Amino acid sequence: MVDIHCHILPGIDDGAKDLSDSIAMAREAEEEGIRTIIATPHLNNQYNNRKDLIVTKVTDLNQALKDAGVNVTILPGQEPRIYGDIIEDFEKNEIQTLNNSQYLFIEFPSNHVPRYAEQLLFDIQLKGLTPIIVHPERNSELIEKPELLYKLVEKGALTQVTASSLCGYFGKKIKSFSMQIIEANLTHFIASDAHNINNRTFKMMEAFDFIEQEYGTDYLYLFKENADLLVEGKNIMKEIPMPIRKKKKFIFF
């Protein structure tokens, strides 16, 4: 199993605090059947994790895991918060795509979608990159206006839902929206977004069990295969996206 979103690199963001944390996370991942993890440290106003640092940290962690006898491979990635100069920074070789593929994570602020997002995601695609919007199910504006998510996916963006969201660890509302996103073919990956082994763990096995039970083996295969295809830099599988119909609220007199 491949986990494409994880904060496992030690001491550079709000994920693993030190090397022992990173090794503990990798051990837990291995127990869940995860053999490959893309390390995706934050790039935002708080954390300035650029490509060179990430590549060095990934190399060091792979050696540490080998020494510790943990059978998990770490690949380089990044989770940039959306900002206007991201294409310029990519051209300066400061942006780390997912395992040096054409796939690039994009994070929105938790409470809104910037007005320039649609144009920027389009411009990113013009550069030959494919943007993947991370955890859209936890964005309050997308929850209220799901048509915005449909529009972005319909125009070529991909999305990744968090395993813990689907399992209900962020609450019923986010779980419900996660399911709606899957049912409308508006997501393409399930990943952990794990930060530690306490309150932000992997939950990948639990999420895939839920998907198989709720939607069948075809969906299970789709999400697992897409993670493999991403790592290899190949085109992923996707169904035709559909708009999410907002549920009507009934008022009783």
φ, ψ (nearest 5 deg) of residue 152: -70, -40
Which pLDDT belongs to residue 245? 82
Q: Band of the pLDDT at 23, cuts 50, 70, 90?
A: very high
CA distances from 224 to 125, 207, 229 (A): 24, 11, 9
Q: Band of the pLDDT at 249, cuts 50, 70, 90?
A: low
For the chain, the domains span 2-231
**Alpha helix locations (H) across the chain?**
19-31, 51-68, 86-91, 117-126, 140-144, 146-154, 163-166, 172-183, 204-215, 217-231
When pLDDT is averaged across residues 198-205 and rounded to a whole number, the result is: 95
Distance CA 202, CA 4 (A): 11
Amino acid identity of residue 111, one-letter, is N
CA distances from 80 to 87, 97, 105, 145 (A): 11, 10, 7, 23
Q: Does domain 2-231 have CATH number 3.20.20.140?
A: yes
User: What strand order describes the sheet that includes 36-39?
Assistant: 2-6, 36-39, 73-76
CA distances from 6 to 77, 156, 220 (A): 9, 24, 20
Share of the chain above pLDDT 90, in %: 96
Pull the structure tokens for residue 147: 């048509």
Q: Is the pTM of this model over 0.75?
A: yes
pLDDT digits (tens, 9 = 90+) for 117-153: 999 999 999 999 999 999 999 999 999 999 999 999 9
pLDDT digits (tens, 9 = 90+) for 138-196: 999 999 999 999 999 999 999 999 999 999 999 999 999 999 999 999 999 999 999 99
